[in-house]
Amino acid sequence: MGEIWVGGAHAADFLNQTLTNDLGLLAVGESQYTLMCNEAGGVIDDLYVYRIASEAFLLMVNATRIDADLHWLEFQKSNHGEDRSVKVEDQSEQTGAIAVQGPATPLFINDLFHGDGLITAERPSVLVKNQVDAWRFGTGEVYVARTGYTGEEGFEIIAPNEQLVALWGQVLEIGRPHGIVPAGLGARDTLRLEMGYPLYGHELSEALSPIEAGCGYFVKVDKGEFTGRSALMKQKDERPKKKIVAFKMNGKCPPPRQGYEVYNNLEAKKEVWSVANAGLKPQETDPVIGVVTSGTQSPSLSCGIGMAQVHIDRAREGTAIDISIRGKRYPATVCKKPLYKKQ
Amino acid sequence: MSNIPDNLKYAKSHEWVRIEGDTATVGITDHAQAELTDVVFVELPETGRVLAVGDNCAVVESVKTASDLYAPVAGTVLEINAALADTPELTNDSPFDEGWFFKLQLDGEPDTSHLLDAAGYAAQIGEA
């Protein structure tokens, strides 16, 4: 991940005019999911913003987007007037994050840190969703947040590089009696896809808006002026032409993967595309209606799942679609998110 | 260390082949299945298809990636392992036995000069 600090007397106003969610809702020690858009409403990045102090914000951004984010933040700063007190500082090279996720994590998270939090929380386990606090660890200070990208209970720990190795070791040791195991991006990706969470470069890009990506909830058009607002308001009013949807494969088939084409379901199509189409070319009677943006085999559901960008008319829950895999059509169904919810 | 039976021949692209009379059985090696991790789908050639050495003839899909499989010897597809359709995990559990992919009808003595023996394959995957 990337870690960018934004501070100064005008930091809150500056960020609220640069990000889509309402920063005014954040008290010190709280965080929110938000998006950074360009004027056309395309997504520069999606991120978490943590209010560490009244005039200090930590932005947790995608590692692949650090340069683009910094560039955009500096550009926005210059637009907002140089006289205002806003400081942007990239700490990505000096900072790392460990996500400690799973139902047992509240049972041992307190054993990692001594005493009260430096903001308001008594102990890490009492942090509520999206709350953040700081604790001393070794010779440094680390941030512990009740956030995550897995759909599970859990915490994210943001720490200076010097503390990371010791922290990783202690997390594994203290979590061992609770069955902790190290997990990489592959495991993270199946978990976030079962939840239907978007990932930058897949469901989010500069060519797609948060409305089209299904993140409209995090665009607060009523909060006042912010970059991309007029374009996003227009989209909210008019209904976008394409949309990101979640889907499940209907039977045994190869796992869907990014880039596979989406078609109307062959069986359903027979009724919709009747004799009237006789004489038309295949691309006219059986057009590509979308593309898979992410896909995997769901370990929890034991079937292929994914997300796709489809024409708005094919975005309704229950719509039968086909995914083309190496030229063969496999049926799938557009489903409500999350695709999997733990009982 | 992976299992590398002595009685098989191996392709550098991690297929194994067992030649018995005029048929050859083909699958992927223990090393390959371990690298792929959990196999979730296997796409096999149609019976009757004529394969030349090196023909792209099957696809193994794990959660991680989709990998092509190449014919280690020439022949005509005689039979495919139908069990893989419902239980692709046989590839992981029993790569040299129940997890076989397909059988080829050979046309005379097959050319195996490009294939490795067990020791040669072990060396190739750094386990010699």
State pLDDT tens for residues A201-227. 999 999 999 999 999 999 999 999 999
For range A240-264, the mean pLDDT: 95
For range A273-297, the mean pLDDT: 75
For residue B47, is it within any domain?
Answer: yes
Who among B40, B85, B86 is closest to A255 (CB)? B40
Who among B59, B63, B85 is closest to A252 (CB)? B85
Indicate the pLDDT class of residue B64, thresholds 50, 70 and 90: confident
What residues in B contact A326, CB-CB < 8 Å?
A: 43, 59
Query: How many domains are there within chain B?
Result: 1
Q: ω into residue A338 within 30 of 0, thus cis?
A: yes
- pLDDT for the residue A266: 80
For residue B89, is it within any domain?
Answer: yes
Give the mean pLDDT of chain A.
93
A251 close to B (CB below 8 A): no
For residue B31, is it within any domain?
Answer: yes
Indicate the pLDDT class of residue A79, thresholds 50, 70 and 90: confident
* Domains of chain A, earliest start first: 1-240 (3.30.1360.120), 241-343 (2.40.30.110)
For residue B93, is it within any domain?
Answer: yes
For range B89-98, the mean pLDDT: 97
Contact A219, A306 (CB under 8 A): no
Strand A154-160 to strand A95-101: parallel, antiparallel, or no bridges (unpaired)? antiparallel
Using CB atoms and an 8 Å cut-off, which of residues 291-330 of chain A contact chain B? 296-297, 299, 326
Ranges A129-133, A292-296, B106-110: which has the least confidence: B106-110
CATH code, domain with B43: 2.40.50.100
Does A183 score more than 60 pLDDT?
yes
Nearest alpha carbon to residue A61 among A74, A77, A79, A73: A73
Walk across the sheet containing B66-70 and list its strands: B39-43, B56-62, B66-70
Indicate the pLDDT class of residue A84, thresholds 50, 70 and 90: confident
For range A316-338, the mean pLDDT: 95
Length of chain B: 128
Does A272 score more than 70 pLDDT?
no
Does A270 score more than 70 pLDDT?
no
- pLDDT for the residue A100: 98
| B41:A255 CB<8 A | yes
Counting residues of chain B whose pLDDT is more than 90, the rounded percentage is 93
| ipTM here | 0.83
What residues in B contact A184, CB-CB < 8 Å?
A: none
| A186:B43 CB<8 A | no
For residue B18, is it within any domain?
Answer: yes
Measure A328 CA to nearest chain B CA, in Å. 11
**Could you list the residue range(s) of the whole structural domain that residue B84 is in?**
9-119
For residue B1, is it within any domain?
Answer: no
Give the mean pLDDT of chain B.
95
Which residues on neighbouring strands pair with residue B60, listed in sequence order? B42, B67
For residue B2, is it within any domain?
Answer: no
B46 close to A (CB below 8 A): no
For residue B40, is it within any domain?
Answer: yes
* Helix/strand/coil for A55: coil
